[in-house]
A and B are shown apart, each in its own frame.
Chain A
């Protein structure tokens, strides 16, 4: 069965600090996709990144970076020099690689509070 665990329920940092959000997943599939979404108070899930299980290269996008390690089934997300606007709930998600079906398994989320 598919499962995503985000052990950090809530994290508080001061602006400009770096912060890492942890994500551990379980799946028996050899091909799958991993995602990170940001959920601001408005409720909408904002797409941040999608990673194919065959691509273990780390990715950097501005202040955001992602570390995918298949050996430990982890897909961690780091925000460098955090800003108040980064305050939100962040979800890690897993989906199977299917042609005719699209289902996300979400973790329970990590609430990030960035204080000025």
Chain B
């Protein structure tokens, strides 16, 4: 079975542009979470979606948005890119929305560079 797949793997954008990152969860998983990992730091929580509904949002500006589709894949959108948005964006998939009896599996991430 395929793991969590993210696309693209690398991306270079210019300040002020918009970017869309995509994630396909493990087959059968209905929850997708997004994390931002700036170089040298641990991942920071951005969003969680379950059954197409937002379940949680981290401390990120409104320039960041996401959605989940009927097939449970997800998109993360970032508008008006800043240099500080350069990071590895990780997607995590899990079978249930909570943490009590489920594990989260991470994709390889999309490395975004803003120039």
Instruction: Knowing A43-B88, A97-B99, say if A104 contacts B105 (CB, 8 Å).
Output: no
Number of chain B interface residues as a range: 20 to 34
* CB of A82 closer than 8 Å to a CB of B: no
User: CA–CA, A21 to B11, complex, Å?
Assistant: 33
Q: A105 to B107: give the CA distance in the assembly, Å.
A: 17
What chain B residues lie within 8 Å of A6 (beta carbons)? 42
Q: Does B25 contact A (CB under 8 A)?
A: no
Q: How far is the CB of A39 from chain B (nearest CB, A)?
A: 9
Report Cα–Cα, A96/B45, bound state, in Å.
Answer: 13
With A107-B42, A108-B40, A108-B41 already in contact, the answer to whether A44 and B99 are too (CB < 8 A) is: no
With contact pairs A43-B88, A44-B107 given, residues A101 and B56 touching in the complex (Cβ less than 8 Å): yes
Q: By the criterion CB–CB under 8 Å, are B56 and A103 in contact?
A: yes
